[in-house]
Structure 1
Amino acid sequence: MNQHTPIKGRGSLIERATEIYDFNAALRGRAAPAVDVPADLPPAPAPIAAAPAMQAPMTPAAPIVPPAYRAPDWTGPKQPIDRIALSEAGFIRPDGPVTAMSEEFRLLKRDLLSQLRDNKRGNRILVCSAHSGEGKSFCAINLALSLAAEKDREILLVDADFGKPGIPAKLGLEAGPGLMDALADPMITIEDCVIRTDIPSLSVLPAGQRSNNDTEYLASARTEQLLRRLTDGRPDRILIFDSPPLLAASPAAELASHAAIALLVVRADKTTESALRDAAGMLKGGAQVQLLLNAVRFRGGGRRFGSYYAKGDNQS
């Protein structure tokens, strides 16, 4: 027999040959074959981003609307009106009987209230005249007393005759700081100057300290600011100005530029036509001018207001 190298171990021929020739060692020394990647292969797709989580739609926040401005309440002193002085001076008595004069002012106020409705200049009425002694203060007070009888109105009677103020005295009130003081001094709060009377719907603003610059103060921007402070947000509040005579002092014409209606008082037995024309010509600035005839005497057969309400007369 030929001598052969002895084969140790068991297993298949392939396994034994691998062991003899150390084929595994050869395999361990070889690198893995390179794989050529064709250049025209499409690039690997980008990873798909995950869809964001669905969120509930957000309701936009409501805009913040500041509250509308409302003119403040009066904070000045409270004083009673002298009813006896009113009667002696021939004014309308707030709690008195119906008279011819009270009926005339009732008709007047109805017409004025209809004209003030939705007026862009607000509820401001200027009562003026060409000269002194023609009854402007008399008419301003009676108009204020008549309007104060309305159930849903608040009346502020403003003494704007800075040269010769007299509204508080005629009503039996003690005047204190007033409109001119508030115009001259920004530290003065105008509602503190208003006198509250014992007629719930009637208050009075005195003229204040006299100044040599009345017209200039009235022409300043502060005047309109103060007037708006008195009335804005209060459609039921009406301002009545008793002004100086148009042909005697310049503030009256300047006040007219802030009014919605200018009542030009004409005294039947005194005011001349030339004075009336001159006074009307000074009322510029947009106020609606109306004539108010004062001290007129009606003849028989005309209007006889007041007699209908006489005691003991029950015929209609």
Structure 2
Amino acid sequence: MSFSRNRHPIDRQRLQEKGMIVPGGPTTALLEEFRIVKREVLRKARENEQRDHATSAQRVLVCSPLPDEGKTFCATNLALAIAAEKDSEVLLVDADFAKPSVLSTLGLTSTGPGMMDALANPNIKVQDCVLATDVPGLWVLPAGNQSSTDSEFLSSNKTKTILDQLTAGAPHRMIIFDSPPALVASPAAELAKHVGQAIVVVRADKTGQSALEDALSLLSHCPDVKLILNGTNFSPSGRRFGSYYGYGS
């Protein structure tokens, strides 16, 4: 499936002010950290695809146990890092339907429909909701209009159909979902059923062990759950961003 080529400019000044990866900018410690993260994500995706021949291998869920732990920061930076790949492209999906923030993070505006509209309205094609950006290899799918039944729509059979459409004919396209925190909204647990990997963002000195364990339990439908430790000030290796751990089932 191909998307619109009408490119929307990313606000690079906004990204810089937020301390994020700036496309075309200098190499930073943050960029190097997300290069490490994306390399593991892409390696695992190719491994899963070769073994299982499943389209879910191209999908990655990014969430956190609780709010304000950095999930959108990590999801967006991971998407920007993958977009720089020569052999991959990426679709960043704002799946935080109650409190979407991907568009504002990137400095994008859209008055059109999004993922939830495509799920709720059979007359809306999901590919028509996708925004092209001026960053080569990066597309964005907005959350769409809010719904009090977002979890019910996600649990319907149409979800798999729409997600399969997003990667149809595009074997090198990765989909990154920025979902709501797992312990405060149900979409994360629903989306975990449709992805090959899930990344849980935990914040140093904030995320408690019990909250993390509860979040991992809710995401247990995903066969491969990893953690990103965000907001660290010290690492034995000298890295400034944090550490990357794996939980495999």
Q: Distance in 2 between matches of 1:126 and 1:107?
A: 17
Q: In 1, distance between residues paired with 2:99 and 2:222?
A: 26
What is the aligned-residue RMSD (CA, Å)? 1.5
Match of residue 148 from structure 2: 212
Q: Does 1:272 align with 2:208?
A: yes
CA distance in 1 between counterparts of 2:133 and 2:223 reads 29
Encode CA deviations 1:260-309: one digit per residue, 9 max, x unaligned: 1010111012100010011111002233111111011225x633589xxx
Matched, 1:97 2:26: yes
Task: Give secondary structure in 2 for the equivalent of 1:114.
Answer: helix
The normalised TM-score by structure 2 is 0.90
Structure scoring higher RCO (CA < 8 A, sep ≥ 6) equals 2
Deviation at 1:118, TM superposition (A): 4.3
1:284 alignment partner in structure 2: 220
Amino acid at match of 2:126: I
1:87-119 Cα deviation digits (max 9, x unpaired): 001110111111111101001111111100142
Higher helix share: 2
Which one has the largest radius of gyration? 1
Structure 1 residue 157 corresponds to structure 2 residue 67: no
Partner of 2:51: none
> Which residue identity does 1:298 align to in structure 2?
F
Count of aligned positions: 234
Aligned 1:197-208 pairs, distance under 5 A: 197-208=133-144
2:122 counterpart of 1:122:
no
Picking from 117, 126, 129, the partner of 1:190 is 126
Q: Is the 8 A contact 1:76 1:191 kept in 2?
A: no
- 1:147-196 C-alpha deviation (Å, 9 max, x unpaired): 00001111000000000001011101012310000000111011111010
Q: Quick check: 2:233–2:240 contact (8 Å CA) kept in 1?
A: no
CA deviation digits over 1:60-107, x for unaligned, max 9?
Answer: xxxxxxxxxxxx210274210000000001110111111111101001
How far off its partner does 1:122 sit?
2.6
* Match of residue 247, structure 1, among 135, 159, 183: 183
| Contact residue 57 and residue 197 of structure 2 kept, 8 A | no
Farther-moved stretch of structure 1 (86-95 vs 284-293): 284-293
Deviation of 1:232 (Å): 2.5
The reply on whether 1:79 has 2:8 as its aligned counterpart is yes
How far apart in 1 are the matches of 2:127 and 2:20? Answer: 27
Indicate the residue corresponding to 1:110 in structure 2. 39
Match of 1:259 in 2: 195
More strand by share: 2
The amino acid of 2:116's aligned partner reads M
Q: 3-state DSSP class of the match of 1:257? A: helix
Partner of 2:246: none
Matches within 5 A, 1:222-233: 222-233=158-169
Q: Deviations over 1:212-238 (max 9, x none)?
A: 110110011100000001112311100
Among candidates 77, 85, 93, match of residue 142 of structure 1: 77
Q: TM-score, normalised by structure 1?
A: 0.72
Gaps of at least 5 residues in structure 1 are: 1-71, 307-316
* Other-structure match for 1:48: none
- Equivalent position amino acid for 1:288 in 2: D
Gaps of 5+ in 2: 49-53, 242-249
Structure 1 stretches of 4+ with a deviation exceeding 4 A read none
